[in-house]
Chain A
């Protein structure tokens, strides 16, 4: 096992453990913190793939901004493990059944998948910011601009909702 693989395994354990913590912990604040841990582990995976820009943007945007807003809302709503309303038995039952069906479908899908044995490394510098910028502003410039218009309309929508007194 080389250092690269060792780091990969450690990061994977942290990521999966964090993701389990998000859904298993009763305290919403703890869930948010576990989600932040997961984001950091995923960023670590990006760095292993030499996609440094994606890694740091993942931390700035998700761990740094969106999760702060999540935490903000949860703190203001003062949700705690013991005041959380209990779901009815019927809902729990429905949840178990639909979850089980999803699990079956996933299992069936994974069973027939063939793992590609040849690793895809077209270029190791593909994740660096200059390469990413080149691709975004030449090959994918149209979808890129469309998605920025989407963001702009979301911003305008937020302002309209906020203006309504």
Chain B
């Protein structure tokens, strides 16, 4: 009776959706490594990967095969279990946040069945993302500590303090946004940003919370450990930071998790501030095509915006030099947190005295 009481078609539908989303995020992440090298090459007036396949498009696959076949080395004094758990956790938490992103509007089939293009519409959606982000630092911390190497330990200590410091400013900047939307559910937040222009103002949240967006973006850079905040792996001081002792596919997991994180957090940034899958004149488009085609267009719009966001992250990485550690802490605690608090106060005042 236990097996009969479960709605199997629902589970199968969700399983297919999860596999597609996981496959897509891994695929995008794979080609983000290629894109990063091409962007870097373009900005430094080089050619970048160009030998494997046309435009070097097979390069990520070649890299993957290379990493799989490299010799796997576990240091003698390392804690074996935690050494393996580190990269696994990094990869797991990188994939977990994709569960609450609404990838497109729900499709209503002719049989009356509604298929949601979101794995789980939980009413605490954005807090779930925060939970995953705050647990994500364990992968780096455990890997760095288990390596039993001073450089690795320094890298993981830096990663932990950086993540905790910037989570605060990120949370406060998001509170201002949530005060305007009045909901934590990501699907609801996207629905409120329907279209592009309404009642004489943009519907996208970036136009309603410009300061909040900038604070959130800077904190996202820090949480992703990307340049200019890539201090945990500062190669000029710490060799390679927390993954100094890693080799083979475990190193690959760390590097790859960074790109999966990049993709998912770009998608979340787009969802929160740039209207998710909404685009200008979407009502006219929805009227002229079938619902399934419309959903596919919406998913493609979201992916396009996400890829533009990823490109922005890459441009910043190859433009701005790395911060010093005290500069990083000063920026986080003395600039971003007060700025986010001021933003929250202004938002509250506007909601009370202007919008009402």
Contact = CB atoms under 8 A, between A and B. Distances in A.
A53 B145 CA distance: 32
Given A72-B160, A75-B141, A75-B156, A64 B131 contact: yes
A154 interface: no
Interface string B190-203: 00000000000000
Given A52-B122, A56-B124, A68-B164, A29 B2 contact: no
Given A3-B6, A68-B164, A53 B141 contact: no
Contact of B145 (A29, A59, A65): A29
B164 A65 contact: yes
Contacts of A129: 123-124, 184
Contacts of A33: 142
A115 interface: no
A37 to B, nearest CB: 11
Interface in A32-58: 33, 36, 52-53, 56-57
A109 interface: no
Contacts of B160: 68, 71-72
A60 B131 contact: yes
Nearest to A61: B134
Contact of B134 (A3, A64, A71): A64
A71 B124 CA distance: 27
If over half of B's interface residues share one DSSP class (helix, strand or loop), that class is named, otherwise mixed; here it is: helix
Nearest to B163: A68
Contacts of A146: none
B210 to A, nearest CB: 26
Size class of A's contact patch? 20 to 34
B97 interface: no
Contact of B123 (A6, A29, A36, A52): A52
A68 B131 contact: no
B94 to A, nearest CB: 15
Contacts of B124: 52-53, 56, 129
A71 B127 CA distance: 23
Question: Considering residues A6, A57, A68, A71, which has the most beta carbons from chain B within 10 angstroms of its beta carbon?
Answer: A68
Contacts of A128: 123
A1 interface: yes
Given A53-B124, A60-B131, 5 more contacts: A6-B2, A29-B82, A63-B131, A68-B160, A71-B160
22 contacts: A1-B2, A33-B142, A52-B123, A53-B124, A56-B124, A56-B128, A56-B130, A57-B127, A60-B131, A63-B131, A64-B130, A64-B131, A65-B164, A65-B167, A68-B137, A68-B138, A68-B160, A71-B138, A72-B160, A75-B145, A129-B123, A129-B124
- For the complex of A and B, the 4 pairs showing the least CB-CB separation, nearest first, are A64-B134, A59-B131, A56-B127, A75-B145
Interface of A: 1-3, 6, 29, 33, 36, 52-53, 56-57, 59-60, 63-65, 68-69, 71-72, 75-76, 128-129
